[in-house]
Amino acid sequence: MKTTVVLTLAISAQATGNILLSKGMKSLVVSDLAGNTYWFSLFLQAAGSPTIWIATAFLTLFFLLFTAALSWADLSLVLPATSFGYVVNVASAHYFLGEAVSPLRWVGTALISIGVVVVARSDTKKVESDRKKERIPTEVRG
């Protein structure tokens, strides 16, 4: 339950951060010249954009929640679980940024969602604690 709540908050913060970040970066006006000047100018403009600062704050919040979850849950559980953020990101990019999303991409997001549900059900720590509650002996795991 704790993992679910923390990861849901983390995914929401990440989606908000990414939308704002994309909006902020696209609004920068940098000439298309290659080389060091391009990156320097891009960095300076990004550092002066309030949208990018707010986006960074949301992504920092995501990182803190993600880190907290890693203190008790497996990386191999937390990572695929946060991939649900991709579904939220694609949907938000479509609705808030007006980006075109093909039917194939929507199918992809559906597969990711199913994958996340499957990964969530593979949480052996949770299964083991449920078994203890039901007083069913757990199998010996090698």
Partner 1 sequence: MKTAIAVLVIVLASSAGEVLIARGLKQIGEISTLQLRELLVIGGRILTKRDFLAGLFSMAISFCAFLAVLSWADLSYTIPATSLSYVISTLGARLVLQEKINPLRWSGTILVCFGVALISLP
Binding-site ranges for partner 1 (CB under 8 A): 18-19, 21-22, 25-26, 28, 30, 39, 42, 46, 59, 63, 67-68, 70-72, 74-77, 79-80, 83, 86, 89-90, 93-94, 97, 99, 101-102, 104-105, 107-122, 124, 141
Return the H-helix or E-strand segment holding 21: helix 2-26
What are the start-end ranges of the E strands in the chain? none
Smallest separation, CB 132 to partner 1 (Å)? 18
Pick 43 or 132: Cβ nearer partner 1: 43
**Do 18 and 52 touch, CB atoms closer than 8 A?**
no
Smallest separation, CB 22 to partner 1 (Å)? 4
Helices 2-26 & 84-96, crossing angle to 10 degrees? 40
